[in-house]
Amino acid sequence: MPPPIIEVSQLGKDFRAGRALVHALADVSFAVGEGQFVTLVGPSGCGKSTLLQILAGLIGPTRGEACIDGKRISAPMPDKIGMVFQDPTLLPWKTALANVEFPLDLRGVSRATRHERCSALIDLVGLRDFAEHYPHELSGGMRQRVAIARGLAQDPRLILMDEPFAALDEQTRTRMGHDLLAIWEKTRKTVFFITHSLTEAIYLSDVVMVMSPRPGRILETIAIDFPRPRELDIIGSEGFGRIRNRIWHLIAEAET
């Protein structure tokens, strides 16, 4: 594995729900190497999004720690971590380009610098002809492309992606996954990705981590050794099916 950018050690998270104490995560430990594409899968309610929020610095753990570049994550780190959510959360009164520029605008980056950087990102995600369009003029897939470009705008070390394609139809979702790989091949950012789709997880990833039902633990870490760049035809291969069945059985057996 390349040198780690993320290191998580014996992480636990508890919540209060009325008088009840909910154990969301328990003894979660893993490392993510720089430049890797790592995906987390598991049943609904197992703590995937909770783990992502801890990595983003939005909430703190109850036990253990999460570090990026050896520094404990205790607050949002926008210079190191970019976020892409299921809902693109674009500002409706700003164009696609202006939405990508927005994080840099907040930081006081000069207009010329942010325009140059973000125009290049708009090109990277294939929206050159739509830079001046508003969100309501874009398709769902296009809006997510804008969100990805915005996540890259501050040149972060790590991109966290929380089911970014879940709201898209199957055809668009498949195409977006393929396009995301093309973007990743060019940027080689470290990506930590959450999805419910086993096919999506295997197709995109270097590593798939399988999480147990709540309290979430890492059941198994599976290396995906298919060569890159990947084509969609690999999804129908025998080897791909074996890995998908293995992950499915891990999750199913953990739920019984």
Q: Could you report the per-residue pLDDT of 168-188, keeping only the tens digit for each?
A: 888 889 989 999 999 999 999
Q: How confident is the model at residue 199 (pLDDT cuts 50, 70, 90)?
A: very high
pTM over 0.85: yes
Residue 1 has pLDDT above 90, yes or no: no
d(CA 135, CA 184): 24
Q: How confident is the model at residue 205 (pLDDT cuts 50, 70, 90)?
A: very high
Residue 195 has pLDDT above 90, yes or no: yes
Assess if residue 92 is contained within a domain: no
Assess if residue 247 is contained within a domain: yes
Assess if residue 226 is contained within a domain: yes
**Residue reference for tokens 């783990």:** 51
Query: Is residue 224 classed as helix, strand or coil in its secondary structure?
Result: coil
Domain enclosing residue 6, as ranges: 1-75+189-256
Q: What angle do CA 4, 6, 227 make, to 5 degrees?
A: 60
Cis peptide upstream of residue 76 (ω within 30 degrees of 0): no
What is the predicted pLDDT for the residue at 19? 82
The conformational region for residue 75 under phi > 0 = left, psi -120 to 50 = alpha, else beta, is beta
Assess if residue 148 is contained within a domain: no
Assess if residue 101 is contained within a domain: no
Query: Is residue 109 classed as helix, strand or coil in its secondary structure?
Result: coil
Q: How confident is the model at residue 73 (pLDDT cuts 50, 70, 90)?
A: very high
Assess if residue 127 is contained within a domain: no
Using an 8 Å Cβ cutoff, are 124 and 149 in contact? yes
Q: How confident is the model at residue 126 (pLDDT cuts 50, 70, 90)?
A: very high
Assess if residue 209 is contained within a domain: yes
CB atoms within 10 A of CB 48: 23
What is the predicted pLDDT for the residue at 167? 84
d(CA 231, CA 235): 8
Domain CATH for 4: 3.40.50.300
Residue 208 has pLDDT above 80, yes or no: yes
How many domains is the chain partitioned into structurally? 1
Average of per-residue pLDDT across 109-117: 92
Q: What angle do CA 46, 142, 100 make, to 5 degrees?
A: 85
d(CA 77, CA 74): 9
Assess if residue 250 is contained within a domain: yes
What is the predicted pLDDT for the residue at 256? 72
Average of per-residue pLDDT across 134-162: 94
**N-terminal to C-terminal alpha carbon distance within the chain:** 33
Which ranges of the chain would DSSP assign to H, the alpha helix? 48-56, 96-106, 111-124, 140-152, 170-187, 198-204, 238-255
**Residue reference for tokens 């990508």:** 100
